[in-house]
């Protein structure tokens, strides 16, 4: 369990990070992190006890080792070829920490890597190849179109029309919904790909900087619930299924980098790159244990350490640039 002193330090660190990142970003470029978190709370109400996104989660642990190709493509410590320990969080989308595991929506794979020398790198991935908004402003606008009536705190009767108008004005925000509608929910946390959706810059041993996106592909293969299982499976089967699976042996994912082709949009996470783009396996994530119940070492982590410069750096994708500061504000609000 994290101590009160540790939580207090996290609170201060989160507030400092949020302020520093907000100050470093031109006000005209994106809404500030307070505005982003306020927009989530306009829909969800004050979030003080759990994450506003993927609040239902299961903590796990394991390790990550880069392939020789990963070491060639990045000078970051996580790709040194040595084994990195990993704190892992599997999550279920929705505002409700008791959301059903059979609901259509994304599942999350968040990871804190720690190198043998203690360097940290964190990431948050989802089980869809695209994000739900192309810019931070679009994210805020989409949330506010679904906001509760501030006078009553209850759903606004006009919000369905407001959101439809928002989608009409921002058609790419529907890409994630189309993917989720066409693909049933995962049958296991271990049988779905998890995409990073944003573009990062990888500096290789040769000094060359290469833009890339990543996906964690399950070595067990992809398996989704059938229509019948979506009706018959209980609302909390995923964590127990993962525990049973790992009792029989580790769960493994290949980390795969995908590289863009000419004309591919590097800065819009609502648009996936074509499947025929070059890909290479750069590492193996091995999940070796799962917490026996709720809570665990992943709970106080907000997965804000998004680069290991110069080996892995954030691109100019505005959604990516806004993430760490918004995570920090959210953490500061739910950390006493």
Per-residue model confidence (pLDDT) at position 47 = 79
Task: Using the predicted structure, report yes or no on whether residue 261 has a pLDDT greater than 90.
Answer: yes
Whole-angstrom Cα distance, residue 229 to residue 235?
11
Task: Choose from 97-101, 249-253, 301-305 the range with maximum mean pLDDT.
Answer: 249-253
Q: Compute the Cα dihedral for 237, 239, 244, 246 and give only its sign.
A: positive
Q: Tell me: the pLDDT tens digits for 14-44?
A: 333 344 334 334 434 689 999 999 999 888 8
Per-residue model confidence (pLDDT) at position 336 = 61
Domains of the chain: 4-150+158-334 (2.40.180.10)
50 as an active site residue: the answer is no
Beta strands in 21-106 (DSSP E): 56-66, 84-92
Per-residue model confidence (pLDDT) at position 316 = 97
DSSP state letters, 95-125 = S-TT--TTSSS-EEEEEEEE-TT--EEEEEE
Per-residue model confidence (pLDDT) at position 18 = 41
Higher pLDDT, 44 or 102: 102
Q: Tell me: the pLDDT tens digits for 204-255?
A: 999 999 999 999 999 999 999 999 999 999 999 999 999 999 999 999 999 9
Per-residue model confidence (pLDDT) at position 95 = 75
**Considering just the CA atoms, what is the radius of gyration of the chain in Å?**
19
Task: Using the predicted structure, report yes or no on whether residue 68 has a pLDDT greater than 50.
Answer: yes
Per-residue model confidence (pLDDT) at position 44 = 84
In 3-state terms, what secondary structure has residue 142?
A: helix
Q: Percentage of the chain with pLDDT > 70?
A: 91
Task: Using the predicted structure, report yes or no on whether residue 2 has a pLDDT greater than 70.
Answer: no
Higher pLDDT, 106 or 45: 106
Phi, psi of 58 (to 5 degrees): -130, 130
Mean residue pLDDT across the chain? 89
Rounded to two decimals, what is the model's pTM?
A: 0.89
Phi, psi of 96 (to 5 degrees): -95, 120
């Amino acid at each position: 369990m994290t101590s009160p002193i540790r939580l207090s330090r996290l609170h201060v660190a989160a507030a400092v990070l949020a302020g520093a990142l907000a100050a470093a970003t031109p006000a005209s470029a994106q809404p500030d992190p307070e505005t982003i978190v306020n927009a989530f709370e306009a829909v969800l109400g004050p979030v003080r006890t759990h994450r506003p996104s993927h609040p239902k989660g299961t903590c796990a642990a394991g390790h990550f080792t880069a392939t020789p190709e990963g070491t060639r493509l990045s000078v970051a410590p996580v790709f040194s070829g040595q084994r990195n320990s990993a704190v892992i969080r599997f999550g279920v989308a929705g505002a409700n920490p008791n959301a059903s595991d059979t609901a259509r929506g994304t599942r999350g794979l968040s990871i804190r890597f720690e190198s043998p020398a203690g360097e940290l790198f964190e990431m948050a991935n989802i089980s869809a190849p695209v994000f739900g908004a192309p810019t931070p402003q679009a994210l805020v606008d989409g949330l506010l179109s679904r906001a509760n009536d501030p006078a009553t705190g209850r759903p606004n009767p006009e919000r369905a029309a407001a959101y439809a108008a928002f989608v009409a004005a921002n058609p790419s925000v529907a890409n994630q919904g189309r993917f989720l509608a066409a693909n049933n929910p995962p049958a296991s946390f271990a049988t779905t790909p998890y995409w990073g959706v944003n573009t990062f810059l990888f500096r290789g041993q040769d000094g060359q900087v290469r833009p890339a996106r990543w996906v964690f592909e399950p070595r067990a293969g992809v398996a989704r619930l059938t229509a019948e299982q979506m009706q018959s499976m209980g609302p909390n089967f995923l964590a127990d299924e993962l525990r049973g699976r790992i009792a029989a042996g580790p769960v493994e994912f290949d980390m795969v980098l995908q590289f863009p082709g000419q004309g591919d949009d590097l800065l819009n996470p609502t648009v996936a790159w074509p499947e025929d783009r070059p890909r290479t396996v750069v590492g193996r994530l091995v999940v070796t244990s799962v917490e026996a119940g709720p809570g665990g070492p992943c709970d106080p982590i907000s997965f804000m350490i998004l680069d290991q410069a110069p080996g892995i750096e954030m691109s100019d994708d505005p959604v990516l640039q806004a993430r760490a500061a918004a995570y920090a504000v959210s953490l500061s609000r739910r950390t006493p």
